[in-house]
Structure 1
Amino acid sequence: MLVLACLFATQSHANSALLNHAQAAFQAMSAMYMKALSQGSPKYQTDLDKYKEQATASLKQFQQQDPLLGGQWLNRWSSFANNLKAEYSPEYDWDVDSVVRRDARSYLSDLYALIGSDSSMQESANQGLLAQVEIQAITARFFDVSSSYNGTISLSPQDASKLEPKMASKQFKARLDVLAKSSNGAHGKSIQSAKSKWEFVEDSVVNYSDQSAYFLVYATKNKISKVLRSVGDSLAANGI
């Protein structure tokens, strides 16, 4: 029994490390696209640098806990992470290099698909952290499309199938409902408020119906993430 408990604890910590990597990596991508959309605002460069550092640190932690899978993802992340940047050129104005965009997009799609298909991770992980991964993935895809000259046409069938925004948003809202019911008092109300904030921008994000709403979407997803982080310790303490 002790051995099983230790194995479960180790796996739980590994899951958390990978989820922490995912939500930071997706936030780094959003910041990169936002730098392009904002014509080079240094605010988003600061966010990009911070989240890149967090993503790398979490992935190295995951590698220590799962050397094989962690090593594979660390090699892939390291192959393009240093190139995550938005740069100015007279021809394209502020933009993200097409190869970097392709690599980041593929990484987001594959990592999101891995997390979504891993039943042990879905069941045992901190549900608040899973919710953070979901909203960061959905919004990162929105910022990618919003900052791309070709919009949704630039998405490959593989990328589109691995992260379908409408389905992902439905799952995200359902997870928020469960979290709200599992929380008491102010925490539950905060989560419901976060859900309302999401529903205010949801159509713009999942349908790409208002790609000019990127400033509002970025601010909203940050507010929601802050709420999820603030209740995370309580949720984890209750085994949720």
Structure 2
Amino acid sequence: MSALSHSAPLRPPVALLCVLALGCGPTIRHTLATNDQRHITYEDLCHLQSWYDHRTASHAPPFRVVDEQSTETAQREPDESGRLRHVELGEGTYLIASREDRLRFNQLLRSEYDNLPSMAITGPEGSVRVHVSFWQTGTIRRIRPDVDVTVEANGSRHVLPSHPCVGEFLFGEQAYAMRRNVLEAERARARGEIPAAYLGDASVGDVTDAAVAGDAP
């Protein structure tokens, strides 16, 4: 039978199918590239405040560090207290063990990426290892936008484009605790429970220079 017969329709090459599908691999659904990291945290663009509040209330332990290394650079950026410190660049692998955390991580990935493969990370048993590269000033750590994220689960390995919400999930505990404190203070001031001068003219956005100072280098 001829390859050009009507019973054997032509099929577009795989490369063309990938183009038509806007990419074969995982792609970012909601780009936050136009937002600096402080804005992402304090506008809660990753929708993680309630999850961090729950972790705090349940005394959930931090994610276990499987391996980690960092190097101090000559570049200086303000830390969370506004003091200039050398920027550290590093990378590490972090274990997400509890099913509750794995469910929330899966939800975050599904909301922020398209074309994700089946990762099988939400079962009753198992764990997830996430490898990222980061930069840090003081105690505030952020994911690097120029290095991919690797997710390992149940013997499979998946490489994803870097997304700031992955870093917020892994490293955001201190920043979101501070955000919660500022929100509660603002609400108390609005109810007249604390003097108006307590926060001055500060708002959640205004305190970011002190709380999560510095943008990614």
Q: Which interval holds the TM-score relative to the shorter structure? A: under 0.3
Bigger Rg, structure 1 or 2:
2
TM-score normalised by length of structure 1 = 0.25
With CA pairs under 8 Å and 6+ residues apart, which has the higher RCO, 1 or 2? 2
TM-score normalised by length of structure 2 = 0.27
Which has the larger helix fraction? 1
